[in-house]
Amino acid sequence: MKFIIGIGNPGKAYEGTRHNAGFQVLERLGRKLDGDSGQKIKWDDDERSNAWIKIYKDVGLARPQTFVNLTGEAVAALADKNSCTPGDLLIVCDDVNLAFGKLRLRASGSAGGHHGLASIIKRLGSDDFPRLRIGVGNEKMPKDLALFVLEEFQSQEKKELKKVLEKAVLVCRAWEEEGFESAQACLSRVQSI
């Protein structure tokens, strides 16, 4: 089974923050998949992997309930429990090094300074998993990026956020349905919109 995993921090205090862009994509994707399947599937607490999950016919969605820098613990447990290889996982996360609204899809690579990705790489023992990065950076970023990613989006960004998240959902769907190359082609199409 394939899994799409959003990175974020658990709890109401972090909802709507830049660091939770991955969770926000998963919420929208879950609603879309619910609509397509004709049933509302609830998020279940998978205690073994410490993640909230939704299982559909061909894909599972997961929101680890660890803090971002410990995401690898939940991802490794989920992969082990479901016999997933790193290539069966699409990780969706924020990226302060990308301008707000820009999306970047890679088949593998370094953590690029993202502590959640670093944790996943360490726990899986591999960086050979696809990741979709959601640009959350802006020209007014402070030197303390740890505080910046825990802030909510600015008012103008909030107006554009729905469109950004919808584009990310389309890329996730393409990956789930037809694989990485299809997701890359989808990303090229949606970035030009």
Which is the catalytic residue, given 19, 63, 115, 133? Answer: 19
In this prediction, residue 9 carries a pLDDT of 95
| Known active-site residue 115 | no
Res. 185: pLDDT tops 80: yes
pLDDT of 178 above 90: yes
Name the pLDDT band for 142 (thresholds 50, 70, 90).
low
Domain around 32: 2-191
How many domains is the chain built from?
1
Residue range 27-46: average pLDDT? 89
**What values do phi and psi take at 61, rounded to 5?**
-110, 145
Q: Which residues contact 135 (CB under 8 A, 6 or more apart)?
A: 95, 98, 99, 100, 101, 102, 103, 104
* CATH number of domain containing 79: 3.40.50.1470
Given a cut of 90, whether residue 143 has pLDDT beyond it is no
Q: Please report the pLDDT score of residue 41 as a whole number.
A: 84
